[in-house]
């Protein structure tokens, strides 16, 4: 520290602290006085750098760091240290009951403009560390963003305003899994985008006939054990493969699902 020159001056309630080691850097003019602040300056990379720090109970409005340029002038406008521990909160598409800085433990309330909905708390308190608790809210549009498209599917409906509905459909050889309709409610869709799953491959005509006959034989018997034996016997006689049986069952399942969805939509 012996190579450094340190001096402190009080100017209009401004404390200026210089940490410089070069008389050339010292030729920069004194920074403009800012009430209720401390200005600290030091030499770095051959230039003079400075910053304002507000005293307790005040917050900085404007730039906080400056360079003394080659013209020996400070490169930024003079900030202010304003009374109040937290800067006045800004709520886009809304407003608060505060018009300026807020002191510690003071509370501010919020409301949104028409066609916007408040996401978060409608009040917040200024804390001693210059933060807000609960966190500041946002005002979100009541309209929705465009919904997503399912792979191999599409939706019908071009309006995404609050209350509007979109209806989903699948391309040929695919069936819908999930909600067919989604409604925009206060900026959020009422559910997840559905999926379009591929229909199972149809069994060969011979396999389909064999399956139908075996199923008919099963339905003719009232006793479950006897019906099961008859069903398995018919399958064995027909030579129906396991894959064909599985495909037939999947087809029946897909048809049943489609009927249920159609009934509820």
Provide the residue ranges of all domains of the chain, joining segments of one domain with +: 5-83, 94-141, 153-198, 205-264
* Mean pLDDT, residues 91-116 taken together: 91
pTM above 0.95, yes or no: no
Q: Above 50 in pLDDT, residue 5? A: no
**Cβ-Cβ contacts under 8 Å for 107 (sequence gap 6 or more):** 123, 124, 125, 126
Is the pLDDT reported for residue 110 higher than 50? Answer: yes
pLDDT in tens, 124-134: 999 877 789 99
Provide φ and ψ at 99, rounded to 5°. -110, 5
- Tell the CATH superfamily of the 94-141 domain: Complement Module, domain 1 (2.10.70.10)
Q: Would you tell me how many other CB atoms lie within 10 Å of the CB of residue 64?
A: 14
CA distance 171 to 22: 76
What does the pLDDT average to over 40-50?
Answer: 78
137 contacts 110 by C-beta, under 8 angstroms: yes
**Do residues 27 and 48 make contact, with C-beta atoms less than 8 angstroms apart?**
no
174 against 255, higher pLDDT: 174
12 has pLDDT over 50? no
* Predicted local distance difference test score (pLDDT) of residue 256: 67
**Alpha-carbon distance 222 to 110, whole Å?**
70
What pLDDT shows up at residue 79?
Answer: 87
Distance CA 32, CA 36 (A): 13
Burial label for 168, CB within 10 Å (0-12, 13-18, 19+), is buried
- Label residue 240 by pLDDT band (50, 70, 90): low
20 burial (CB, 10 Å; 0-12 / 13-18 / 19+) is: middle
Cα separations (Å) of 201 from 174, 205, 244, 245, 254?
Answer: 11, 12, 9, 11, 11
- Spatial strand order of the sheet with 153-156 comes to 153-156, 165-170, 181-185, 188-189
Q: How many CB atoms lie within 10 A of CB 148?
A: 12
Q: Can you give the pLDDT at residue 7?
A: 32
CATH 2.10.70.10 matches 153-198: yes
Instruction: Please give the class, per CATH, of domain 5-83.
Output: mainly beta
């Amino acid at each position: 520290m012996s190579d450094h020159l340190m001096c402190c001056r009080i100017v209009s309630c401004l404390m200026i602290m210089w940490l410089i080691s070069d008389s050339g850097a010292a030729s920069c003019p004194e920074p403009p006085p800012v009430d209720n602040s401390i200005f600290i300056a030091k030499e770095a990379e051959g230039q003079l750098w400075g910053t304002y720090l507000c005293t307790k109970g005040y917050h900085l409005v404007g730039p906080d760091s400056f360079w003394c340029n080659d013209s020996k002038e400070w490169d930024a406008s003079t900030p202010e240290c304003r009374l109040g521990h937290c800067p006045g909160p800004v709520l886009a598409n809304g407003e608060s009951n505060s018009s300026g800085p807020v002191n510690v433990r003071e509370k501010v309330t919020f409301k949104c403009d028409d066609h916007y909905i408040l996401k978060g708390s409608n009040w917040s308190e200024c804390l001693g560390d210059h933060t807000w608790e609960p966190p500041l809210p946002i005002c979100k549009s009541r309209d929705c963003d465009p919904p997503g498209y399912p792979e191999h599917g599409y939706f019908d409906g071009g309006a995404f305003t609050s209350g509007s509905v979109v209806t989903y459909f699948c391309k040929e050889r695919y069936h819908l899994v999930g909600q067919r309709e989604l409604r925009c409610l206060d900026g959020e869709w009422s559910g997840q985008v559905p999926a379009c799953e591929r229909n199972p491959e149809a069994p060969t005509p011979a396999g389909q006939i064999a399956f139908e006959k075996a199923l008919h034989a099963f339905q003719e018997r009232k006793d479950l054990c006897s019906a099961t034996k008859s069903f398995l016997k018919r399958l064995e006689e027909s030579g129906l493969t396991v894959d064909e049986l599985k495909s037939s069952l999947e087809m029946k399942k897909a048809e049943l699902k489609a009927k249920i969805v159609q009934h509820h939509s």
